[in-house]
Amino acid sequence: MNQEALKVLEERRSCRAYKPEQITEEELQAVLKAGTYAPTGMGRQSPIIVAVQDKEIIAALSKQNAAIMGNPDMDPFYGAPTVLIVLADKQFPTWFYDGCCVMDNLLNAAEAVGLGSCWIHRAKEEFESAEGKALLAKWGIEGDYEGIGHCVLGYWAEEKPAAPARKENYIYYVR
């Protein structure tokens, strides 16, 4: 049994305060590689990952995300210096689930390499907008992709919280 892998799963928490320091290329590549090994329906690999480290693009995405959320003064990316956008190709019937699996692998890989991470929603709305579609076209991304989420990455600016107790009746056995 791989106790270290289980420990990573148990200790991962959402980070909502990041240091401004950029993550290393080695850390980025390790997290991205893990994302590409997520399970997908029939092995079709319907999702794609857009790795963004450009401060201006991140600021624009954050502003758009905050507007969609209805809180234009907030930074929904919490100052994270890296944003991984997961999109999935809607031509595949399992696209949404595939994208969620990629997001999960990214989050857990971030923990494994010592990074903070958080799943930020509203990518669907961002990339359905004219502004979002223009970004995809600018980046050379063609097809019927839907935004699954943003995986924000960086170094913890605050102490990582302990896990809350697990709820009762989380697991039911049928044997």
DSSP code per residue over 111-150 = HHTT-EEEEE--HHHHHHSHHHHHHHHHTT--SSEEEEEE
Model confidence over 31-78: pLDDT tens digits?
A: 999 999 999 999 999 999 999 999 999 999 999 999 999 999 999 999
3-state secondary structure of 11: helix
Give domain status of residue 159, yes or no. no
Model confidence over 94-103: pLDDT tens digits?
A: 999 999 999 9
Tokens describing residue 77: 């990316």
Model confidence over 143-159: pLDDT tens digits?
A: 999 999 999 999 999 99
Other Cβ atoms less than 10 A from the Cβ of 82: the count is 22
Give domain status of residue 66, yes or no. yes
Q: What is the CA radius of gyration of the chain?
A: 17
Give domain status of residue 104, yes or no. yes
Give domain status of residue 12, yes or no. no
Q: What angle do CA 50, 57, 48 make, to 5 degrees?
A: 10
Give domain status of residue 2, yes or no. no
Q: What is the CATH number of the domain that holds 26?
A: 3.40.109.10
Range of the domain at 36: 21-154
**1 — pLDDT class (breaks 50, 70, 90):** confident
Task: List Cβ neighbours of 121 (8 Å cut-off, separation of 6 or more).
Answer: 149, 150
pTM of the model: 0.97
Tokens describing residue 132: 């979002």
Residue 153 pairs in a beta bridge with 82, 117
Give domain status of residue 146, yes or no. yes
Give domain status of residue 14, yes or no. no
Model confidence over 65-78: pLDDT tens digits?
A: 999 999 999 999 99
Domain count, the chain: 1
Give domain status of residue 7, yes or no. no
Judge contact between 18 and 81, C-beta under 8 A. yes
